[in-house]
Amino acid sequence: MPSPDDRRADARDGAREAGTATAVPAVSVREVTHRYGRGADAVTALGPLSLDVPAGEFLVLVGPSGSGKSTLLRLIAGFEHASSGDVTVHGGTPEPGRQAGVVFQQPRLFPWYTVGENISLALRYAGVPRAERPARVGELLDRVGLAGTARRRTWQISGGQQQRVAIARALAGGKDLLLLDEPFAALDALTRERLQEDLRTVSSLTGITSVFVTHSVDEAVFLGTRAVVLSAGPGTVALDVPIPLPRTGSDDPDGLRGLPEYAALRAEIGAAVRDAAR
C-alpha cells in the first residue's frame, strides 16, 4: 500500500502532468472577515483577506501581535467559521481533524500514554490497521529524529522532544495539510533551531502543504517557500513574497542562512512587519 507521502507525491506529479497544479488550491481564503463576540463587545480580528495556498507550499504567516494569524489558522482548521467570505480546503468546508494535522505552541500530548501510544492513537483515528501501527510509529519517530523513544513516557522527554512527538502525531493522520501555530515559540534558542532544521527537512522531503504561524522573521525565511505578512488587526495582506531558497532535503542550514538572498528576504519581511506594527 502506498504511504501518505507517496500518495501526496503522486497527486502532485499527476496534477503537474495534467497541467492542473493550480486548479484547486489546497487552501482557498476568499474575502474572509472574522469577528469574535457580538454587539458592543465584538472584536473584528481579521480581514477582509484573500489568499490561495497551492499544494506543496510552505506558507508562513507573520505579523504583529493581534493581527489575526492564529484566527486565520483556526479558520483553515475548521475550529472557527468565517463571519463573512469563504474558506475551503481542497475545495471543501474545513472540519476539525478531517483535512489537517494541527500543531500548537504546547505539545498537548496525553501524559498517561507513552510516546508511541500517543502516535498510535492518531494512526488508529486515521484508520491504519492495528498490525501496521507499530511499524508506522517507528517510521514517524525516525522521521522527527526520535528513533527508539516509543516506550518512553511523555514526561520523561524534553519539551523539544515532546514537540517533535506532536509533529509526528500530526503527520500520522496522513493528512495533506499541516497547520502549525507558533510550535517552537516556547523552546530555547538551540532546540528551536534544531527543530526548524528538522521540520524543513521533513517538509522538503514530503512536500506536505503547510501553514505556519510565527513572530520570528528569521524562522519565516528559513522555513517558508512563501511568506505573508499581515497588517495590524484586523489583519489584511501587507506583503506576500515567495522564498525561492534551495529546498533539497539535505541543505546545509548555516549555508542557507549565509546566502545573500536569505539576508535580503529577512530585511524585506522584517521591514514589512515593522511597518505593519506602526
Ligand X SMILES: Nc1ncnc2c1ncn2[C@@H]1O[C@H](COP(=O)(O)OP(=O)(O)OP(=O)(O)O)[C@@H](O)[C@H]1O
> 66 vs 253, which CB is nearer to ligand X?
66
- How many other CB atoms sit within 10 Å of the CB of residue 49? 24
* Nearest distance, CB of residue 116 and ligand X, angstroms: 32
> 65 vs 250, which CB is nearer to ligand X?
65
> 65 vs 248, which CB is nearer to ligand X?
65
**Contact status, residue 198 vs residue 144, Cβ threshold 8 Å:** yes
Binding residues for ligand X (CB under 6 A): 36-37, 43, 45, 63, 65-71, 215, 233
| AA letter at 2 | P
> 37 vs 92, which CB is nearer to ligand X?
37
> 57 vs 182, which CB is nearer to ligand X?
182
* Nearest distance, CB of residue 120 and ligand X, angstroms: 31
**Contact status, residue 86 vs residue 111, Cβ threshold 8 Å:** no
**Contact status, residue 114 vs residue 153, Cβ threshold 8 Å:** yes
* Nearest distance, CB of residue 180 and ligand X, angstroms: 13
> 44 vs 204, which CB is nearer to ligand X?
44
* Nearest distance, CB of residue 163 and ligand X, angstroms: 17
Q: Which three cell numbers stand for residue 53?
A: 495556498
* Nearest distance, CB of residue 219 and ligand X, angstroms: 13
> 69 vs 169, which CB is nearer to ligand X?
69
* Nearest distance, CB of residue 111 and ligand X, angstroms: 25
Contacts of 60 (CB under 8 A, 6+ apart): 211, 212, 213, 214, 219, 220, 223, 224, 226, 227, 228, 243
* Nearest distance, CB of residue 237 and ligand X, angstroms: 13
> 67 vs 161, which CB is nearer to ligand X?
67
* Nearest distance, CB of residue 181 and ligand X, angstroms: 8
